[in-house]
Structure 1
Amino acid sequence: MSTLYRHLRVHQVFGANTDVGKTLLTAALVRASAALGNSVYYLKPVSTGPIQDADDEHVKRFAGQHKNLVDAACLFRYDDPVSPHLAATMQATRRGIESASYPTDPAFVSSVASHIRSRATQVHSLDSNAAHMYVETAGGVHSPVLSGSSQLDAYRPLRLPTVLVADARLGGISATIAAYESLLVRGYELDQVLIFKDDYYRNYEYLQPYFAERGVRLDALPAPPERHSDDAENFRITDAFYASLAPENREGAMFDVVKHLDVCHEKRLDELASMPRRTLESVWWPFVQHRLYGKETDVNVIDSAWGDYFSVYNGHRFSSSSSASPASAPAPSTSHSLLNPQFDGSASWWTQALGHAHPSLALAAARAAGRYGHVMFPLATHAPALKLSERLLQGPGRDWAARVFLSDDGSTGMEVAIKMAIRTYLARNPDIKAAVEEEEKSGSGKGKKGLGVLGLEGSYHGDTIGAMDACAPGVYTCEWHDARGFWLEPPTVAIRHGRTVVSLPPSLGGGIHDPGPLARAYDVRGRLNSDLAKAYEKHITQALEGLKEKGERLAALVLEPIVLGAGGMLFVDPLFQHVLVATARRLLNLPVVFDEVFTGLYRLGLSSPSSLLQTTPDISVHAKILTGGLVPLAATLATKEVFEAFWGEKKEDALLHGHSYSAHAVGCEVALETLGILDKMEKNGAWDEAKTAWGVPTAATSAESASTPASTVASNSDGAPIWSLWSPSLVDALSKLPGVCETMAMGTVLAITLEDTQAGYASHTAAALLSPLTFPDPHADVGELSAAPGGAPFGVHHRTLGNVAYFMTSLNTPPESVRAVEDRLWEVLNAGLRGSAFKWT
């Protein structure tokens, strides 16, 4: 994620199998690079076997006349010539270590990245024009690293450009193609394939056109001599072999390969450097006022992503024209990587559940694409769609939903839900149905087109016209917007100056209500008999009866449960929403739609927000987290009553809604994989540490063992089980900063509302205050590893909603990453609002 340098070209060498000549060909690459006058760095991260047979020693031994230009290193060395994970275990056993510990994958890859960074600095200090580096892996592409993980997955955070050594033996064609496809599925970029010529099997004759069709160069090189029993003679013939591959005249296939790799490196640099300009010339961004962002430095070039981090190209921000570079961008230097890790602080618009490029999700997508591609769905079925529907009915739809309608995204899912709700309303209320049909027949009224929805101010259900019409007029609506309905002002829950408060809107008299600790605020059942509940019911009843008297017809209650996301991360008082659902059903017999596109499927720490509201809907919509953030898909769940509202003899009475990619098999398969992983995480206690910090009992802890600020403690014994991956102490401390109006956290979400006289979406307060977060901390200790993959200093990508700053993690974001982001966030906000170095921890 942080390994692209102008003057250090790095390639990682993988083998299609073990014993395919990977070390021999890597040594030849090193020798040819050195013969061309380049400083060359060779790294073997893990070596197994006797030291005299070690690959790094072999590379140094046969570096040729220019060995003074070659630096060879190994990071982890074990004596037994077996797979790294087994070699480490055997060595520990031999030393009498019963429970040996090995580097985790993040620690292992940080060691590799740190070594690369040190060599990049060395190249800079030598004032060298260019240098080459080769990182040789062990065995085949899926050979395990020390932790036991496949090395393809372990090395993936670095995503180094790749050289693949093909297998020249019997079965080698299959092994090579399988290795190539494994590299592709995990997002690697393959620049070169090398293979030894075998005049009997002649695998190169098949593989050369195969790779040529796919735009990958393959070079076949003479096979090495057999090992001689005499060491001196073996050295002589082996050195002669390398001299034939990299002769002193600097001509031949190996030199052509080295030059090709140089060209690939330059093309990669040129491509990344050109992307900002090309983007400004051709792309229309969503939710962006282009007039305000016309400089190349405004463009965030994402080269790849892994886990919770983007790998961002900053070369255009390191340019010599410092006036064009942001003030907080790192100082330019040839020793700086042009790629920097950047924490995805909005979970890529609230979609990420398991981090970017999750290998299980990528494989699920490939599995379904290979089996189905896309297939027609009406009057058909396929396993991914059927199994997903059954899974959703047993998950968020348990005990209330009967059917699942699969579509493409949250906005479409809400369009479907609104159609379902309006038809259901008319089926429930035959007298109103008769009245509106008579109006249409006589032309005396609006008829069905006069039916509206009941909702909350600040709601957002998507950008399609129908979904927008279900919202009050606001910044997201357009010229065609026709608001159809009535929207109540919602009371909200937040942390102010360390205290949990419920803020009442003017329509409810305004002011602040004290519900006690946060857990009690979300204990809806425990608050049902409170005076505030009675006030809510009275207010809602008066509003709805007033609408009836005016002849207004509402056909559905449409809610974002718990949080109004795009409306400003407003945490609505759950008691108000509970009372609203009950009152709307009692007075108007309305079907209830829960828009769980944002808040569902553990985003807020619970499988469904219905459990907090102590009520279920008639219809719910799920998207975003549904597929782990990999591909678009939406599911609209409905009760049996809703389904039967479309039951009839006439085709025109059916739900005539769909799109070309309905129930897309790839999306359904990925969703199944995502839900399966989330189930395992919950069962395995993946969030127990965070729950404990918030005082929520787990199987291994009790509420009494936690010590957190009273305002942010949640426990089953004293209210609802409210918890967050964000530290309660941070939420408490931020709420006490000058200039902060309130804070709130739940599940993966953290929201910070800043004081601003021009509060609202049009405000630039939060964006301006948080701008230093975008780039790596210029004061970070370069010798200290960060929480980002590879350990390099990282920036934080973020989105703001006017004067509201919000941050979001995945559901599997490591605690060390969350703490590191918290530290950066505190430093920036504390410095910007108070101008001191006060610590919150």
Structure 2
Amino acid sequence: MLAHILFGANTEVGKTIWSTALCYASHYLAHAPVEYIKPVGAGPVEEADYVHLAKFVPCKCTNIHQFEKAMSPHMSEGAMQTTDASIVSALRKHLQASSFKNTFVETAGGVSSPAPSGSLQCDLYRPLRLPVLLIGDSKLGGISTTIAAYEQLKVRGYDISAILMLRDPENAPQYENWKYFSEIWSKSYSCHDKENIKCFTIPSPPALSQDAEADFKAMQKYYSESASVGYDVLKHIEQVQKTRLARLDDMINQTEKHIWYPFTQHTLVNPKEIAVIDSAHGDMYTVFAPNAKRKSEEALADGSKKEGSVAVEENKYKELFDASASWWTQGLGHGDPYLAMSAAYAAGRYGHVLLPNCTNEPALGLAEDLLSTVGKGWANRVYYSDNGATGMEIALKMALKAARIQHQLSGKIEIIGLEGAYHGDTIGTMDACPPNVYNVEVDWYDGRGIWFDSPVVKVSNGEVSVQWEDKSFSFTALDDVYNVSSRVNSHLAKQYASFIGEKVRTAMQQGHQFGALVIEPLVVGAGGMLFVDPLFQRVLVDIAKGRLPESPWYTEAHENKKAGIPVVFDEVFIGLYRLGQLRSADILGVYPDVQVNAKLLTGGLVPLSVTLASEELFEYFLSDKKSDALLHGHSYTAHPVGCHVARQSLKRLDQLNRTAWTENKQRWLEFFGCQNVNGVLSSRNPNAWSVWDPEWVYEVSKLECVESIMALGSLASVVLKAGDHGYQSSAAGQYLSRLREFSTGAEEYGILARPLGNVVYFMTSQITPTHTVKEIQAKIIDVFSQPR
């Protein structure tokens, strides 16, 4: 099936005329069964577009929503109850079931006209991303509106197969807009695919006659005379589609030849499991599945099925839920048009500009935004780079130099960290981690530190606990674990302090010099999605800053507010609401000296990283010598595109926190029966909550194959029972293959998840709809309940 969507550069530009001409050519010249679909229409049924088309072409006409009054759909009675999702779902199902050779979907109004919900037409249909036939505007000013429509579609990721226009009638002014697009625009307009954009024209239809029979005959003659151009359009779009599909079909072979995947042993890659991602929107990848088999019957012109039809081989697109949030970067969904326009604005205004001894609004504005939110109460400076590893490399340089000067250290300076830590793949960040699968094969690796086995938070067989060495500590509710302020004087806190203090003191007596505490707060990510007891990390920070008697720096703390060693928070993964909170400091109850944010910073659109630092650390780099400065640079430091997009992303995340997640937070409070001192259900924001349903978390924790599960914010992590633990484990393979099968809920899509050994994690974006989460939860239960 070859399906195209017709967008208009404006209203009254001839979408229905062109739809009829194309269907006419398909039926009478190409002899190909054809269907016309009008998802949303407005006006009396007898005046509906599909009624006009059906007069001239014996094809199947489908109308999904028809509002009675001839007005913008968003103003129609009951329109706001007609959701975008319901329209797209109905259209998708219709297209999936169709077996017509050609299908043309006609939109309402112009590209930016409102849909029933109030969103724009170009946004309404974006999840389907059908190839576009853009109906240009032949009226005065139409060149401008057509180009504007073209750019609106391109910024949303649509492919435009052709521009179709009506030529002005002989007795009207000859604007000849079509000639501009045929002869001038294609040569001068700097679009990368202009060689594929052809402009086709047909005359404007004859003037409407008062005689219905005469009008019908005139239009019938008009469509007959226009059929040859319609046929040329059909041949063109078919060739465009063939070229496109051929490229998609060959991408796996070419990828095998030329791409070197990260974190991948290529001898273990099954080519059949390579996902050719054609596009992405919201939480979904649209993947190309070459030669997918589907039962199909040949359709006759009237839509009936031909007897004896057999299954055919055809190229199909399928959808996969992006369950790793594209390696933890996705926060506001793929293809977000407003982030895309923010990027386009900054690119058009700046491109990239130098930062040293200069400033610009995106860089300065983002710094101010960060210091008033993430860095509020402790940070004064923002250092820009491009990714989390680089941001952490900068953080280490800041912290270690400050400690060297403060404590007058020389020689090898080390860090205090956690087992399983991962801070990136630059040389410095690898050295700040214990030996592991990511660094032991790197020739220059030299682990510089001591590492603590962390107590971990688990939900196992319906019970919440903290597991530390061979001990287990039970809790009534998950939120109790993350209410650190109520636990700092507990017996367990004292045990932690004694354990940490003794190990650090012993190491220092053996000659170790420490320059920083470096931790991933709350969750050790790549090391296995370990949910570290936040109380343990709070005690670590208090030891590092000399606030507890067990600390080697305790005496110094009474004399110097800069006592202890700098504390670095690696929030590349967990920051900015990934775990439900803006920052970990609000749970731990302590501030770092340096913190790194990336991943969700730009909503998943472009690379950007920030290293926030206190003024005290900044001052260690001040002197009359340039060599004392932080001599670290990145060519795209404070890239204006990334900074401007990040500002929009932070605003959206803040809005979501204040509105969209209220129901999730309340559900977690109610499930655990969290009460205040008067026995009334608490109305506070919980420290521990998730978009994943708490009942589902407990149900999964009781499955036969599951050792434990944890969920915070948009992250859920499942530890499977397996004989082979760790990163090399293959326990998750069969489960992941089943999850990729296309049979989830009412919509057919698979779940593309990635394992960390015997740990399978699932991550939504921050905007994943509740109904989608429920569908995924049901599929996970189904798959994990099956025998391995």
TM-score, normalised by the number of residues in structure 1: 0.85
Flag the 1:427–1:516 CA change in 2: closer, same or farther, 3 A: farther
1:297-336 correspondence to structure 2 within 5 Å = 297-315=272-290, 318=293, 334=312
- 1:188 is displaced (CA, Å) by 0.6
In structure 2, distance between residues paired with 1:495 and 1:682: 25
Q: Partner residue of 2:298?
A: none
Q: Partner residue of 1:15?
A: 8
Of 264, 272, 292, the match for 2:240: 264
In structure 1, distance between residues paired with 2:313 and 2:577: 42
Say whether the 8 Å CA contact 2:292–2:315 is kept in structure 1.
no
- 1:335 is displaced (CA, Å) by 8.5
Structure 2: tracts of 5 or more residues without a match? 296-309, 547-551, 554-563
Q: Partner residue of 1:26?
A: 19
Of 646, 653, 664, the match for 1:671: 646
Task: Return the letter of the residue paired with 2:717.
Answer: A
Flag the 1:704–1:37 CA change in 2: closer, same or farther, 3 A: farther
1:536-685 correspondence to structure 2 within 5 Å = 536-586=496-546, 587-588=552-553, 589-683=564-658, 685=659
Flag the 1:221–1:101 CA change in 2: closer, same or farther, 3 A: closer
Cα deviation code 1:654-705 (max 9, x no counterpart) = 111111111011111111011011111122x2111211221169xxx99569
- 1:229 is displaced (CA, Å) by 2.3
Query: CA-atom RMSD, angstroms?
Result: 2.1
Q: Report runs of 4+ in structure 1 exceeding 3 Å deviation.
A: 316-320, 332-337, 701-705, 713-717
SS class of match (1:406)? strand
Q: Partner residue of 2:419?
A: 457
Q: Partner residue of 2:178?
A: 204
Cα deviation code 1:48-79 (max 9, x no counterpart) = 2233321101111122xxx2xx1112111123
Cα deviation code 1:721-744 (max 9, x no counterpart) = 310111111111111122321111
Say whether the 8 Å CA contact 1:519–1:714 is kept in structure 2.
no
In structure 1, distance between residues paired with 2:214 and 2:149: 35
- 1:219 is displaced (CA, Å) by 1.4
In structure 2, distance between residues paired with 1:150 and 1:657: 45
SS class of match (1:13)? strand
Q: Partner residue of 1:323?
A: none
In structure 2, distance between residues paired with 1:603 and 1:383: 27
Flag the 1:144–1:657 CA change in 2: closer, same or farther, 3 A: same
In structure 2, distance between residues paired with 1:654 and 1:359: 40
- 1:290 is displaced (CA, Å) by 0.5
Report % sequence identity: 43
Flag the 1:720–1:254 CA change in 2: closer, same or farther, 3 A: closer
Q: Partner residue of 2:668?
A: 694
- 1:800 is displaced (CA, Å) by 0.4
Query: Is 2:134 the partner of 1:149?
Result: no
Of 70, 77, 98, the match for 1:81: 70
- 1:356 is displaced (CA, Å) by 0.8
Say whether the 8 Å CA contact 1:142–1:152 is kept in structure 2.
yes
Query: Is 2:77 the partner of 1:117?
Result: no
Say whether the 8 Å CA contact 1:714–1:722 is kept in structure 2.
no
- 1:576 is displaced (CA, Å) by 0.7
Q: Partner residue of 2:84?
A: 105
Task: Return the letter of the residue paired with 1:452.
Answer: E
Query: Is 2:460 the partner of 1:496?
Result: yes
SS class of match (2:201)? strand
In structure 1, distance between residues paired with 2:649 and 2:109: 31
Q: Partner residue of 1:766?
A: 732
Flag the 1:800–1:714 CA change in 2: closer, same or farther, 3 A: farther
- 1:254 is displaced (CA, Å) by 2.3
Cα deviation code 1:728-774 (max 9, x no counterpart) = 11111111122321111111110111122320000010123332001
In structure 1, distance between residues paired with 2:481 and 2:531: 11
Cα deviation code 1:462-515 (max 9, x no counterpart) = 11111111111100112221111111111111112111111113xxxx221224
In structure 2, distance between residues paired with 1:382 and 1:220: 46
- 1:275 is displaced (CA, Å) by 1.1
In structure 1, distance between residues paired with 2:214 and 2:704: 78
Say whether the 8 Å CA contact 2:711–2:717 is kept in structure 1.
yes
Q: Partner residue of 1:394?
A: 372
Flag the 1:223–1:772 CA change in 2: closer, same or farther, 3 A: same
Say whether the 8 Å CA contact 1:696–1:716 is kept in structure 2.
no
Q: Partner residue of 1:819?
A: 774
Flag the 1:419–1:316 CA change in 2: closer, same or farther, 3 A: farther
SS class of match (1:170)? coil
Say whether the 8 Å CA contact 1:696–1:723 is kept in structure 2.
no
In structure 2, distance between residues paired with 1:715 and 1:730: 22
SS class of match (2:321)? strand
Q: Partner residue of 2:484?
A: 524
Say whether the 8 Å CA contact 2:138–2:167 is kept in structure 1.
yes
Of 414, 417, 421, the match for 2:392: 414
| More displaced stretch, 355-364 vs 514-523 | 514-523
In structure 1, distance between residues paired with 2:787 and 2:125: 38
Q: Partner residue of 1:793?
A: 748
- 1:832 is displaced (CA, Å) by 2.8
- 1:101 is displaced (CA, Å) by 5.4
SS class of match (1:454)? strand
Flag the 1:361–1:101 CA change in 2: closer, same or farther, 3 A: closer
Say whether the 8 Å CA contact 1:388–1:671 is kept in structure 2.
yes
Q: Partner residue of 2:444?
A: 480
Task: Return the letter of the residue paired with 1:305.
Answer: A
Say whether the 8 Å CA contact 1:143–1:150 is kept in structure 2.
yes
In structure 1, distance between residues paired with 2:341 and 2:787: 44
Q: Partner residue of 1:837?
A: none
In structure 2, distance between residues paired with 1:529 and 1:703: 21
| More displaced stretch, 333-342 vs 412-421 | 333-342
Q: Partner residue of 2:474?
A: 514
- 1:457 is displaced (CA, Å) by 0.6
The answer to which structure, 1 or 2, has the higher relative contact order (CA under 8 A, 6+ apart) is 1
In structure 2, distance between residues paired with 1:53 and 1:832: 58
Task: Return the letter of the residue paired with 2:157.
Answer: G
Q: Partner residue of 1:55?
A: 49
Query: Is 2:351 the partner of 1:373?
Result: yes
| More displaced stretch, 559-568 vs 263-272 | 263-272
Task: Return the letter of the residue paired with 2:93.
Answer: S
SS class of match (2:287)? strand
Query: Is 2:143 the partner of 1:162?
Result: no
Say whether the 8 Å CA contact 1:760–1:803 is kept in structure 2.
yes
- 1:413 is displaced (CA, Å) by 0.4
Say whether the 8 Å CA contact 1:767–1:802 is kept in structure 2.
no
Structure 1: tracts of 5 or more residues without a match? 1-7, 93-99, 124-130, 247-251, 321-331, 437-446, 706-712, 787-791, 834-841
Flag the 1:174–1:451 CA change in 2: closer, same or farther, 3 A: same
Say whether the 8 Å CA contact 2:291–2:315 is kept in structure 1.
no
In structure 1, distance between residues paired with 2:46 and 2:638: 58
Flag the 1:107–1:348 CA change in 2: closer, same or farther, 3 A: same
In structure 1, distance between residues paired with 2:108 and 2:701: 51
In structure 2, distance between residues paired with 1:319 and 1:453: 58
Task: Return the letter of the residue paired with 2:284.
Answer: Y
Flag the 1:702–1:140 CA change in 2: closer, same or farther, 3 A: farther
Say whether the 8 Å CA contact 2:291–2:313 is kept in structure 1.
no
Cα deviation code 1:426-474 (max 9, x no counterpart) = 2322xx24xx2xxxxxxxxxx2xx1111100100001111111111110
- 1:104 is displaced (CA, Å) by 0.7
Tell me the number of residue pairs that the alignment of Structure 1 and Structure 2 aligns.
Answer: 742
Say whether the 8 Å CA contact 2:705–2:784 is kept in structure 1.
no
Q: Partner residue of 2:301?
A: none
Q: Partner residue of 2:303?
A: none
SS class of match (2:200)? strand
TM-score, normalised by the number of residues in structure 2: 0.91
Say whether the 8 Å CA contact 1:297–1:316 is kept in structure 2.
no
